[in-house]
Amino acid sequence: MIGLATLMAAALSYGQGTVTFANPGAAVSNMLTSAPVPAGNAFWAALYWLPDSPNPPTTADFDAAGPTAIAYTTNFVAAGVIMGGTVRIEGITPPGGNAWFQVRAWEHIYGGRQINSYAEALATPVDPTAGRPILAGTSNIFKVDTGDPTTTPPGTPGPLTGTGKLRGFYVVPVPEPSLVGLGVLGIGALLMLRRRS
């Protein structure tokens, strides 16, 4: 009995927090069409998190954390809209404390196959049947005051949207063409046109 009480106390003292994985007013859109990504399984989104720190993390910091940074993955319930519900994240200290977040979206069905993670999307070569690179994108990095699930009643899950939080973003072809690359292509095209005249 004492062992069970100790185990329960340890579980409750372990940091955790809750957020609502939804993006009202911050749609995810397709850069090629400027329209929100379609509802269903064509695109997926993942919620990434890192512990609170005085300085905002970078996208590279989320990448370095790997799969441990992924809190939840879901599809789109409406055009550009994520509704993943309440997500409980183990490791937020103190319970219900602040944490840093980023949302990442990618094309889940591409060239006739399923792409199950953002990392896999980045590593996917261009499929000739698709006629273009896979689409993927990341949101801004933002801080959320999470809900404390260890209190009675549990704290209200922190929303991802609001002032200074998640903003809408685009999925873009991966790898995204660089400005330098586009400039080189433009100069080459101008030289070719000049030679013809």
Question: What is residue 189's predicted lDDT score, i.e. its pLDDT?
Answer: 47
* pLDDT of amino acid 15: 81
For range 73-89, the mean pLDDT: 97
> What does the alpha-carbon distance between residue 34 and residue 71 come to, in Å, rounded to a whole number?
28
Mean of the pLDDT values across residues 187-195? 50
pLDDT at 3 exceeding the cut of 50: no
* pLDDT of 78 higher than 80: yes
* Per-residue pLDDT tens over the stretch 109-158: 999 999 999 999 999 999 999 999 999 999 999 999 999 999 999 999 99
For 21-56, what is each residue's pLDDT tens digit? 999 999 999 999 999 999 999 999 999 999 999 999
Distance CA 14, CA 139 (A): 29
Looking at residue 79, the DSSP 8-state letter turns out to be: T
* Distance spanning both ends of the chain, measured CA to CA: 91
Answer whether residue 100 shows pLDDT above 90.
Answer: yes
Give the Cα separation of 193 and 1 in Å (integer).
Answer: 84
